[in-house]
């Protein structure tokens, strides 16, 4: 019996995060024991340049080029990963996904929590799809919709809805399939990056320290303020309510003391809005900590130092984290 338990403890779940950006495709593979509380382990990190014009905003223009890049990335997997069943996830740009919410009057239980039984969910589905059509301006047959009942402190008793044009998901699924990769999940880039930065904060910051997570993507800057492990504020720029990036950051801070800000994504894109890392720190009133794969700690093998310190891997890490944590 002791031997059997030891074998169970040794089993690891492997997951891959695939981030397809304007200039390159990135791949991160993580693993974690399926039993116990073992930390995640970095198995592989790599990048493959994309041909010019392969991407145009959120659109994949040259599916063949993206598929070739993915095939090359997975061809380099070490044997320990290649011989495993990989849960693979890819992301959609934030601007490809529209978010909305609906109130849930009359569905509260003890303590104000929503009673999310089968009857409630069935009754909400038609209203959810109508709302998704409204915010996206697309008929429901052309939409991919995800939704859940949110009972977090900021959004108690609401349904949060995410809708995206189905064509964007299908393009990514087809590119992966052409490279011999089966996707098990598609997530939003900002949320994947946030997941990675929050994971980093567990190791890099003091417990319960208030901090900000800032992610710079091809479609803008996203920010979250986190206190006691709860998101208490968020922002996106450009947005109609903000005159400039400094205004958006001040709105995020809202006069509160922020101990540190974790920064991930395409940091060089800050130049386009006349900002630097130092400027971010000045507006938020805190130090800046660039996201690094190295912050994950354990590596299964020697990996390129320049990639381990590259903040653009936040999305790929966040996608892989989803796979090993589920």
266-302 pLDDT per residue, tens:
999 998 888 999 999 999 999 999 999 988 878 878 8
Look at domain 96-167 and name its CATH class. Answer: alpha beta
| pLDDT at residue 3 tops 50 | no
CATH topology of domain 204-291: Nucleotidyltransferase; domain 5 (3.30.420)
Residue 4 vs residue 197, higher pLDDT:
197
pLDDT band at 309 (very low <50, low <70, confident <90, very high): very high
Count of CB atoms situated within 10 Å of the CB of 229: 10
Could you tell me where in the chain the CATH 3.30.420.40 domains are found?
Answer: 2-94+168-190+296-325, 204-291
Q: What tokens does 229 get?
A: 């492990």
- C-alpha 200, offset from chain centre: 13
pLDDT at 1: 42
DSSP3 helix / strand / coil % (the chain, rounded to 5): 40, 30, 25
* C-alpha count within 13 angstroms, C-beta hemisphere, residue 312: 21
Q: Which residues of 84-113 are buried (b: 16+ CB within 10 A; e: fewer)?
A: bebbbbbbbbbbbbbebebebeebeeeeee
- Each residue of 82-99: pLDDT tens digit? 778 899 999 999 889 888
Could you tell me where in the chain the CATH 3.30.1490 domains are found?
Answer: 96-167
First to last CA, the chain: 27
| pLDDT at residue 107 tops 70 | no
**Residues contacting residue 65 through CB under 8 Å, at least 6 positions apart:** 50, 51, 54
45: exposed, middle or buried (Cβ count in 10 Å: 0-12, 13-18, 19+) = buried
pLDDT band at 150 (very low <50, low <70, confident <90, very high): low
Partnered with residue 149 across adjacent β-strands are 159
Count of CB atoms situated within 10 Å of the CB of 78: 13
d(CA 309, CA 156): 38
Interval 25-35 mean pLDDT: 90
Chosen CATH of 2-94+168-190+296-325 out of 3.30.420.40, 3.50.50.60, 3.40.50.720, 1.10.260.40: 3.30.420.40
Enclosing H/E stretch for 260? strand 260-265
d(CA 69, CA 54): 11
Mean pLDDT across the chain, nearest whole number?
87
pTM of the predicted structure, to 2 decimals: 0.87
């Amino acid at each position: 019996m002791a031997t059997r338990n030891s074998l169970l403890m040794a089993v690891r779940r492997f997951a891959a995060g695939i981030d397809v950006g304007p200039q390159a495709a990135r791949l991160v593979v993580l693993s974690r024991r399926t039993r116990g509380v073992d930390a995640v382990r970095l198995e592989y990190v790599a990048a493959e340049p994309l041909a010019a014009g392969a991407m145009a905003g959120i659109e994949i223009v040259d599916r063949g080029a993206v598929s070739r890049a993915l095939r090359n990335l997975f061809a380099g997997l070490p044997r320990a990963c290649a011989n495993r069943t990989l849960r693979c996830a890819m992301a959609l740009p934030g601007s490809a996904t529209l978010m909305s919410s609906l109130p849930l009057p009359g569905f509260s239980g003890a303590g104000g929590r929503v009673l999310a039984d089968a009857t409630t969910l069935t009754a909400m589905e038609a209203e959810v799809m109508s709302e998704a059509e409204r915010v996206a301006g697309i008929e429901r047959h052309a939409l991919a919709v995800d939704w859940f009942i949110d009972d977090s402190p900021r959004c108690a008793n609401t349904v949060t809805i995410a809708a995206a044009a189905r064509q964007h998901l299908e393009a990514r699924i087809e590119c992966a399939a052409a490279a011999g990769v089966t996707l098990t999940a598609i997530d939003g880039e900002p949320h994947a990056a946030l997941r990675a930065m929050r994971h980093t904060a567990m190791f890099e910051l003091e417990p319960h320290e208030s901090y900000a997570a800032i992610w710079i993507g091809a479609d803008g800057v996203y920010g979250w303020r986190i206190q006691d492990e709860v998101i208490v504020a968020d922002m996106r720029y450009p947005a109609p309510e903000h005159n400039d990036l400094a205004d958006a950051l001040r709105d995020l801070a809202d006069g509160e003391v922020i101990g540190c800000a974790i920064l991930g994504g395409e940091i060089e894109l800050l130049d386009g809005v006349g900002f630097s890392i130092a400027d971010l720190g000045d507006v938020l009133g805190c130090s800046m900590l660039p996201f690094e794969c190295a912050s994950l700690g354990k590596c299964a093998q020697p990996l390129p130092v320049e990639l381990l310190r590259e903040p653009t891997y936040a999305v790929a890490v966040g996608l892989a984290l989803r796979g090993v944590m589920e």
